[in-house]
Structure 1
Amino acid sequence: MLPLIQQYAQEGRSYALVTAGVTWATYLLLRATTDPRARWWTAYALTLVLASWLHEFAALALVAHGLTLWRSGPARRDAWRWALAAAAVGASSCLWR
C-alpha cells in the first residue's frame, strides 16, 4: 500500500468508531422509547458515554436526540429517563477531562 493512503486510513478509523457509536445510540434511543424496560436506556447512556470518550463532539448527538425526543412529544417517563441518561453522559465526560 502507499504510505499516504495508509496514514489516512488509520486516521479515519477513530471517526468510524465514533460514527458507529452514535448510530448505535440512535438505535437504542428508538428502542428505549418503544420498550418500557430500563435496560434500553442504560445501554443508550453507556453507548453515548463510550462514543463521547472516543471523541467529545459525539456528545452533540445527545442534544440532537433530546430535540428529536422533545419534538415527538414523549411520555413523561421517557423524558425523565432521557434526562437521567443525559446527566450520566455529561457527568462522565466531566470526569475524564
Structure 2
Amino acid sequence: MLHYLVRRLLVGLVTLGLITFLVFGLIRSMPGTPALLQLAESSPDRAIDPADIERMNRDYGLDKPWQQAYLVWLGNVLRGDLGRSFARKEPVLR
C-alpha cells in the first residue's frame, strides 16, 4: 500500500510539473506582452513609449527567455512567492 501511495504521489508531481511547464510556455508564446496590454488599457488615448514597455518587462521578469523565467517562477512558487498582480500591483498572496 505504501508503494502504491508513493508511486501515485510521484506521478502526480511529475504531471503537475509538466502541466505548469506547458501552460507557462503557451502563455509566454502568445503575441504581445502583459506590459503592452496593461499600458494600452491604462491609457488608451496616449501613445505607448517603448521605454515604458521595456521597463515593465524588466520589472516583471518578462525580458528573460521563457525557460529561464519558468525556472525563476518555479523557485519562487516553491518558496511561497506567487509574484505580483498586474491589476492590483501588490503581492498575489496577500
Instruction: Provide TM-score, normalisation by structure 2.
Output: 0.36
Higher helix fraction (1 or 2): 1
Instruction: Provide TM-score, normalisation by structure 1.
Output: 0.35
| Larger gyration radius, structure 1 or structure 2 | 2
